[in-house]
Structures are given as C-alpha cells and as structure tokens.
Amino acid sequence: MRRRKLLLGAVLGAVLATAAGVGVAVANQSGDRSLEVAAQAKASHSTAKYVIFLLGDGMGQSEITIARNYQYGAAGRLPGIDTPPLTGDITTYALQEADPSKPEYVTDSAASGTGWATGHKTSNGRISTTAKTDLTLPTIFEQVAKKGWATGNVSTAEITDATPAVLASHVNARGCQGPADMAACPKYKKSAGGPGSIAEQEVDHSSDVILGGGKGRFDQVIDGGPTPARRSWTRPRRSATPS
C-alpha cells in the first residue's frame, strides 16, 4: 500500500512562493543567509513528506510585536517566527459582492481564508465560493485528498468557523454552520438538494482528522439528503450504502 501523507491544515504553493520571494529580498538586504538557504533548497529537489500549516487567525504584525516585547523585550526574537531563514509578508484584500471587479479593503476571515485555501479572492462572508456568481472554488485540501493524501483540520475555535471551514466546505455565508443555521444559504440545504451546512460538508468530506469546538453544530439534525433526521456528525462508513 502506498504510504499516505498527512496534510494538517492546507498550504497554497503560490502563496508560499510569494512569501519566500519577499523574505529573500528583504533578508538579503540585511546580510543574512537567506539567499544561500533558498539556493540550497532549490538545488536539493527535496519533496515534503508532511505539510503542517499553522495559522494564527487575526494575527498580524502588531500582535507579533506585542508578544515579542512581552516575552523577550524589544531586542528579543520570537522562536518560530523571527528565527526561520526565510520569512515574508503578503498583503490581501477582498472583493465587493455586488461588483467583484472592485476591491473591498477590509478583509474578513472567510474571504482571506478562501484566498489561501483556493488561490482565489472572494467577497467577505463567503466560504470557498466566488463573489456574486456563487461558484464552488476547489480547495487545496480537496485536491490533495483526491491524490490519496490523508487530511486533517484542527482548530482551537469552532471547527465550523470561517477559517477552518474554508478547507472542506462551500457556502455563500459563513454563518451557515449547521443544518439549523441555513437562513442565509437556502439553496445549500440538503432538503433543497444542496451539499448542506458547513458541519455537514466537513463530515461528508471524510477528512481523516477533525478536531475543534462547535459540537452543537454537529448535534443539529440533517433536514434532507440520504440520511435525514440524523445528527450532522452521523454518517455511514465510507464503504456502506446510505440508508
């Protein structure tokens, strides 16, 4: 059996490449070994065995600076953030729902999460769907699962909240977290022939690991599909026929 790989969270290659490029340019001006490290990594042609993506939701430079100053002082260095050989910054913006050709300068977790999970911008509040046209945007989580990789989604927040939700669900509004929360997403309801709420889609996605808060969303009853009247977390085994 081919050894399965673990994807914990998701990594968008283009985003990482951009961040690495910024890191090289800035670090090179400061005289460190970033260019040398980047050249060595490129020459090695190594392939990652595991990919673990850690995301501090809402964490920006101001939060990092506060943590650095508090823990180590103004001249200190935060392990894991200030110490890697390559670091970088990227900017983001969302799209206006009414006119996706125009930017929305304040980005929420749903739109920014959709960006790093799918490589596409969207409007605030959307979970891996396009602004206005409401098309499904495939996520890197789903793409690697098709290749046989094991996948996991772990959060200290509700696992149905916007940031973890962008990996394995597609809805037009971030608040549609459980079957009873679908007022803003009527066509996504299972009783309407849709894929269901965020919780239902995360379970149906058959990830290998789902850890997080929000049990109440999964205790809500499914309103349609092959398993109506069951709680959202209940589903047949992959090899079983839905009853």
Res 50: pLDDT:
85
Tell me the C-alpha distance between 67 and 78, whole Å: 8
How crowded is residue 42: how many other Cβ atoms within 10 Å of its Cβ? 9
Tell me the C-alpha distance between 74 and 81, whole Å: 15
Res 231: pLDDT:
77
20 part of a folded domain: yes
Tell me the C-alpha distance between 17 and 195, whole Å: 33
Number of structural domains the chain divides into:
1
224 part of a folded domain: no
**Which tokens is 57 given?**
């939701």
100 part of a folded domain: yes
Tell me the C-alpha distance between 223 and 236, whole Å: 16
225 part of a folded domain: no
45: alpha, beta or left? (left if phi > 0; alpha if psi -120 to 50)? left
Sheet with 150-158: list strands edge to edge: 51-52, 6-8, 150-158, 209-213
Res 34: pLDDT:
65
Active site residue 44: no
Low-confidence residues in the chain, pLDDT < 70: 1-34, 234-243
Cα(first)–Cα(last) distance of the chain, in Å?
30
Q: How far is CA 139 from CA 84, 166, 170, 214, in A?
A: 27, 8, 9, 22
**Which tokens is 60 given?**
């920006």
| Pair 140, 118: CB distance under 8 Å | yes
238 part of a folded domain: no
134 part of a folded domain: yes
215 part of a folded domain: yes
232 part of a folded domain: no
Instruction: Out of 109, 112, 123, 197, pick the active-site residue.
Output: 109
Give the tens place of pLDDT for each residue, 159-218. Answer: 999 999 999 999 999 999 999 999 999 999 999 999 999 999 999 988 899 999 999 999
Tell me the C-alpha distance between 59 and 81, whole Å: 12
In order, the DSSP letters of 213-233 are E-HHHHHSBP-STTSTTSBTT
The boundaries of the domain holding residue 147 are: 6-219
Res 9: pLDDT:
36
Res 240: pLDDT:
34
Burial 148-166 (b: 16+ CB within 10 A, else e): ebbbbbebeebbbbbbbbb
Helix intervals (H) in 31-127: 34-44, 61-72, 109-118
- Which pTM does this prediction carry? 0.77
Res 2: pLDDT:
36
| Pair 201, 153: CB distance under 8 Å | no
Q: What is the CATH number of the domain that holds 213?
A: 3.40.720.10
